[in-house]
Amino acid sequence: MRHLSGKDKKNLSSVLPTGYIVDKKDEVIEKDNILWKNKKPFLIIKDKNYFPHLKNVEEEHLKCVYVDRGAIPFVLKGADLMRAGIQIIDDGFEKGDTILVKDEEHKKTIAVGVTMFSSGDMKAQTGGKSVKPIHLIGDEFYSSEL
């Protein structure tokens, strides 16, 4: 466990996902590849990148794809999201962007992933992999405690 200094927090601000803010007054702790902000899970650290934690996700700042009921069990096991399971694709994201994967029926976020295609290319896709999951409900990050 490591408490971030004021300088660390200032440097962190330049690499945070859109909409994510760290103030110098915030208590920020890094433990087991999770950044905790004021004792709440804030971000996942994976491959030296920062991704939203599902328990504290800023949904208004991220684009989404919505999956059908049949895709959910596979997503929750960590499988790459196949184009066939995606029913709705938000406009305006690029290849490599962080997005939310949501259940089409209930509109609940079930995973955070990285896109393998832009939104336009994904809509034109007829099959294959579309989203690489990074963090999902029930994974080691989700159940972690400070």
Does the pTM surpass 0.85? The reply is: yes
- Helices (H), ranges, the chain: 6-13, 72-75, 119-124
Residue 78 has pLDDT above 90, yes or no: yes
Residue 28 has pLDDT above 90, yes or no: yes
Q: pLDDT tens, 104-116?
A: 999 999 999 999 9
Looking at mean pLDDT, say which of 10-14, 46-50, 126-130 comes out highest. Answer: 126-130
Q: How confident is the model at residue 18 (pLDDT cuts 50, 70, 90)?
A: confident
- Which residue has better confidence, 12 or 111? 111
* Pairing state between β 40-46 and 34-37: antiparallel
The pLDDT of residue 138: 94
Q: Tell me the average pLDDT across 3-21.
A: 90
The pLDDT of residue 19: 87
The pLDDT of residue 125: 97
How many Cβ atoms are within 10 Å of 88's Cβ, its own excluded? 12
